[in-house]
Amino acid sequence: MCGIIGCVGRDERTVETLVHGLEKLEYRGYDSAGIGVVGDGLSVSKTAGEIEALSQKLSEQSLAGTVGIGHTRWSTHGPPTDENAHPHQDCTGRVAVVHNGIIENYQELREELTAAGHRFSSDTDTEVVPHLIEDALEAGAEPEAAFRSAIDRIDGSYAIGALIEGTEALFAARNDSPLVVGLGLDAEGDGSAELTGDGPYFIASDVPAFRDYTARVIYLEDGEFARLDGGVSVTDSDGIPVEKSVETITWDAEETGKSGYDHYMLKEIHEQPRALRQCLSGRIDELGGAVDIEEVGDLSPTGVQFVACGTSYHAGLYAAQLFNQAGVPAQAFLASEYASSPPPVGDDLVVGITQSGETADTLSALREAANRGAETLAVTNTVGSTAARECDHALYIRSGPEIGVAATKTFAGQLAALNLLSLATVEGGRSRRAVVPALRDLSGDIQHILDDSAASEVAEIYADSNAYFFIGRRYQFPVALEGALKLKEISYEHAEGFAAGELKHGPLALVTPNTPVFAIAIGDGDAARKTVGNIKEVEARGAPVVAVTDGRNDAAMYADYVLEVPETHPRAAALLANVQLQLLAYHIANDLGRPIDKPRNLAKSVTVE
């Protein structure tokens, strides 16, 4: 969702650093942007629209300071206007605040503050925070105490950064919303909660905001506060120092660039062969067929519940089939609905699938599972994320940074990692001997698709269709759902995914000659033969059909066009079919001129429920 950047120690480069950090956070989704800096005084510049509009406004102003904060806002309370953009200030203009999350008691606080004479200029929940700080300052509190006092009064989720005029320090706090601290290369610690040095020091909602300057980070936990000035000090809600370990980010800043591709999404689709090699590296014995995931130890669940949202939920549906096929009862739940689901039973394992490790609904579901006494595991791409830290175990998919809002390589990484989890915990030697070679060959098979896909030609033919249907069975059903989601996310066209057998139970009424059906038919077994039957039903009603197939069945015979995938194990074939559908969605959206990397109304990391 919204993006936060803050910095101390960049001096004359403060404004430049803040804008650069905001540009690195554009992928999170936003509709307004702003910065605030403290120098001789406190100055704020903000505007609705994109960062380019903010940069133009800054070129007409003279902002300078030694400490600053910046923000990209994704609208929740109030529309995207100049007034609703962050940072928000108090009545005196001495305080500036940026905030991600939702302040649940803001209406009550706003009414109280208004009655006390405070004037509000926005529709946001965030604006109560600077006014609360103002009240505490006027009551005689020192700046840090005033900040703490304000935080104590708010309920909800937040990552907050604050500036106070006359104080060359940056104050930060988090609760249920991610916030990471970046440490300059000369920062030194003595094992305590205090790190000192010339800096620079940063706060951000995500590492890419400051990765060009440092790879050394500490992650704030819920209820923790940070003060950044000539060093970094971290304390808990009672003001007691907290020792923090310094971690090093292993990916390069260059990995977040486009590398010559027109869009991040296309680059990340093409990065999938490498991402899968990283996911599998050191985890499979290609000769013996063994699978070893050191992170999960000797787990042997008698049942599994998967909780996830969006694309990750589709990965959960796929994983549930893996475990069920192995004889272990498994279900996938939408994380936002998990609170009303059946509780875990006995030695059930609850697996949260979340690319960012910060998805609010998934974190809430995992916490609910932990409260019920279940063992939990996070399948995530983000080392040090909240899900990874809070769960009993963490399985990293190792896909590298993903900037495009529409998940691509991380979905492939999730499917591969979940295969490994199933093979390592509940499946025997026969399955391993059959599946491991297919997993090993995935990178080469996907590269073959990337080199030879006809998706761009198919997209050009069907880019003006009224709607798009995607169908598949068994392992291919979640891929059909994901194909439809990708298309609707970035093209803004109506697309739906169905279990192929369900098409005749209602959705067939919507099929027309201008409704192409993308049918995934893999192998020559019963599922493929029945899917071919569904293709015939569609064809008889005049709808065009595009078959995604390995050629081992008759799907191509009844299709108008074919997107080919190499022959492989059905489990691995799901990943190959998915690549063809990713390319299809990309090219349709590109032909329609959509903003592919920043689709409207969507955000990369959804940190509110």
Instruction: Catalogue the active-site residues.
Output: 2, 604
Q: Is the dihedral of CA 13, 173, 360, 281 positive or negative?
A: positive
Q: What whole-number distance in Å separates Cα of residue 388 and Cα of residue 374?
A: 16
Q: What whole-number distance in Å separates Cα of residue 496 and Cα of residue 515?
A: 11
Whose tokens are 């063994």? That residue is: 290
Tokens of 24: 């690195």
Helix (H, G, I), strand (E, B) or coil at 200: coil
Cβ neighbors of 329 (< 8 A, separation 6 or more) are: 302, 303, 304, 323
Of 475, 447, 441, the C-alpha closest to 284 is 441
Tokens of 575: 């990943």
Look up residue 302 and give its amino acid: T
Q: What whole-number distance in Å separates Cα of residue 315 and Cα of residue 354?
A: 10
Tokens of 285: 């014995």
Tokens of 78: 């109030």
Of 331, 298, 290, 318, the C-alpha closest to 428 is 290
CB atoms within 10 A of CB 122: 17
- Residue 39: phi and psi, rounded to 5, are -140, -115
Helix (H, G, I), strand (E, B) or coil at 308: strand
Paired strand residues for 517: 469, 545
Pair 344, 305: CB distance under 8 Å:
yes
CB atoms within 10 A of CB 262: 12
Pair 5, 202: CB distance under 8 Å:
yes
Which DSSP string corresponds to 369-429? HHHTT-EEEEEES-TT-HHHHHSSEEEE-------SSS--HHHHHHHHHHHHHHHHHT--H
Pair 398, 404: CB distance under 8 Å:
no
Pair 414, 306: CB distance under 8 Å:
no
Helical (H) or strand (E) element with 331: strand 330-334
Of 426, 464, 171, the C-alpha closest to 303 is 426
Paired strand residues for 518: 470, 546
Look up residue 461 and give its amino acid: I
CB atoms within 10 A of CB 307: 31
Tokens of 526: 């019963």
Q: What whole-number distance in Å separates Cα of residue 370 and Cα of residue 49?
A: 41
The C-alpha torsion from 213 through 217 and 220 to 226, rounded to 10°, is -60
- Residue 133: phi and psi, rounded to 5, are -65, -40
Tokens of 330: 């498994």
